[in-house]
Amino acid sequence: MLKQHPVTRRRTVLPIAITIFCVLVYILPAESFTASNYGPFEEKTLKYYIHDSVYDHDSAWPDMIRTAVIHWNNTKIVNLSETSFFEDADIHFLAGPTSSPTYLAQTNSLAATYTYLADITINKDRDDIGDGYNDPTKYDLPSIMRHELGHALGLGHTWLNTDYLMTPTLRRGHIFFIDQDAEDGARYVYEPNYTLKVQEGGNDYHYGSGGHTYDDQSNYVATNTGPNGAVWTHSSGWSRAHAGTVSFINNYQSRVWHHFKGDSITYAFTMAWNRGVARVFIDGVDMGVVDAYAPDVRWQVARTWSGLGNGRHVIEVRRDSSNPGDKYIDVDSFTVNIDTADTGAHEETSPNAKKIGHWKRFASNEASGGSVLYSNQAQDALTFTFIGDKIDFYYTKAYNRGKAAITIDGVYRLTLDQYSENIQWQQKISFPGLGSGVHTIHISVLGEKQSASSGTYIDVDVFKVY
Ligand SMILES: [Zn+2]
C-alpha cells in the first residue's frame, strides 16, 4: 500500500557517531552515482588540517594536497582554508594504513551529527603514490585528493565515464580533474537552485540505445540524496512497478536526474493520493510540470519528451514549489528512445501495449483481431505508446464491466464506464488533438462499477492511431 510510505525518515541528527568509509581502490563494485548519501557539510566555508603523518611520510605530499584544495576552491562551490589546529578542522588529511592494503586512500565521514567531520587517509604503505604527472608509474596524488575531497564533500562514485574524477578506479600516470560531472554533483548538494547542464566532451559515455529502460534503482538514475541531506526512499516489493521498485521523496526541492544519449526520454512514475507536483528540466530548460496526484493508484504512468536531437542530454525531475508539503514525487523508470507504434490499427497484442498486473486474453470472433485483454484487479493497467495526433481506443461494453481511469501523457482525461446491459463489441472512445510526437495512453482498472453491473472488468480490444 502506498499510504504505508513513511512520512518522516531517518536523517538530520544521528544519535551517535557513525563512521562511513569510502575508499579509492582499483576496482570497487557499483554503489551509487555522483551525489552520495553521505550528506554534505552544512557550511560551504570549511577548514582543513594536514596532519604531521603526511609531512613525515613525504615532504612533497602537503603541497599536492593543497593543489587539490585549490582546484575545489576554484569551482566556488566551497571554500576550504588551512588551519594549523586539528580541532578547528572539518577535514583532516592523514597518512597511515588504510582498511585494505590495495586502497590508495580512503575517506571516513564522521557523522556525529548532520554536520560531520571527514578524515582522508592516504595509504602510506604503498610506494606507487606520488607525482603521476611526471612519473607514469605513479598514481597521481593531487588526483586522488581531488577524488577523496569529492567524497568528503558528499559525492559518491560515477559510472558515466572512466575518465571522470569520481570513477571508482583511477589509473597510474593519469590526471583526473574536477569535471562537469563532479561539479554537477557538488552543486546539486550545496546549491538547491542549481539546474543541471548537459555534459560536453568525454568518451565511453553511458547511454541506452533504442528502447532502453533504466529502473529508479539503477546506478544511472541519481536518487541518492537531495539538497540538505534529504534521502530518497528506495522502495521494493511493488508487483506493478517497473522491476518491482519505486523511489520517492517529499523534501523541499528534492531532485532526481538521469544522463542519457538519445532523441527522446520517457519518465515513468506512480500516480497516487500522496503524490504531488514535479517540474521537469531537460538540459536545463524548464519543460513544465507533471502532477502525479490521483485519488486512486496508477502504476507506470508515462510521459515522453521527444525530438531532442540525437545526442547527450540530462533530464532532471524536481519537486515543484507548488507541491503541498505532504505530497511526494516519485520515479519508477526512465526509458531512452522508447519504442512507439505508428499510425494504423494496433491490436492489444502489440509490443507497444504494455500489460501491468494480471491481464488475461479472451477470444471472440466479434472482437477486433479475434481477442481482447481483460482484468478486474484494481490498479492493473495497460499502456500504449505511439506517435500520432489522435488515438481511438476500442473496447467491449458488457453487463459485467466496470470503470477505468484514462490518463494520457501523465494527465488524467476521464473515467470510462464500460458497463452496458447488453454486450456491444468494438465500442470507441476518441482522443484527438494530442499534438505531434510521442504519446502514451494509460488505462487503469479502478475496481469500481455502477450498481447495475455484475463485475468490475475492463477490457482492451484495439488502438487506432492517426
Ligand atoms: Zn572513491
Domain range annotation of the chain: 2-190, 212-336, 344-465
222 CA → ligand 1 middle, Å: 17
Digit-by-digit pLDDT tens for the chain (466 residues) are: 233 322 222 222 222 333 444 444 333 222 223 334 445 677 889 999 999 999 999 999 999 999 999 999 999 999 999 999 998 898 999 999 988 888 899 887 765 444 567 889 999 999 999 999 999 999 999 999 999 998 888 777 776 678 888 888 888 999 999 988 788 878 877 877 777 766 554 433 445 556 789 899 887 787 765 555 567 888 999 999 999 999 999 887 788 888 788 899 999 999 999 999 999 999 889 999 999 999 999 999 999 999 998 887 888 899 998 988 889 999 999 999 999 999 999 999 999 999 999 999 999 999 999 999 999 999 999 999 999 999 999 999 999 999 999 999 999 999 999 999 999 999 999 999 999 999 999 999 999 999 999 999 999 999 999 9
199 within 8 A of 221, measured Cβ to Cβ: no
Grid cell 470510462 — which residue? 416
Q: How far is the CA of 106 from the centre of ligand 1 (A)?
A: 7
User: Are 212-336 and 344-465 in the same CATH fold?
Assistant: yes
What is the Å distance from ligand 1's center to 144 Cα? Answer: 9
| Alpha carbon separation from 242 to 245, 249, 272, 334, 443 (Å, rounded) | 6, 18, 16, 10, 16
Taking the centre of ligand 1 as the mean of its atom positions, its distance from the CA of residue 159, in whole angstroms, is 11
Pairing of strands 333-336, 212-215: antiparallel
* CATH 3.40.390.10, domain 2-190, yes or no: yes
DSSP state, residue 201: S
Distance 151 CA to ligand 1 centre (A): 7
Alpha helices, DSSP H only, in 220-308? none
* Ligand 1 centroid to residue 128 C-alpha, Å: 18
The hierarchical CATH code for the domain 344-465 is 2.60.120.260
Q: What count of other Cβ atoms lies within 10 Å of the Cβ of residue 309?
A: 9
The model scores a pTM over 0.85: no
Q: Please tell me the CATH code under which domain 212-336 is placed.
A: 2.60.120.260
Q: How far is the CA of 21 from the centre of ligand 1 (A)?
A: 10
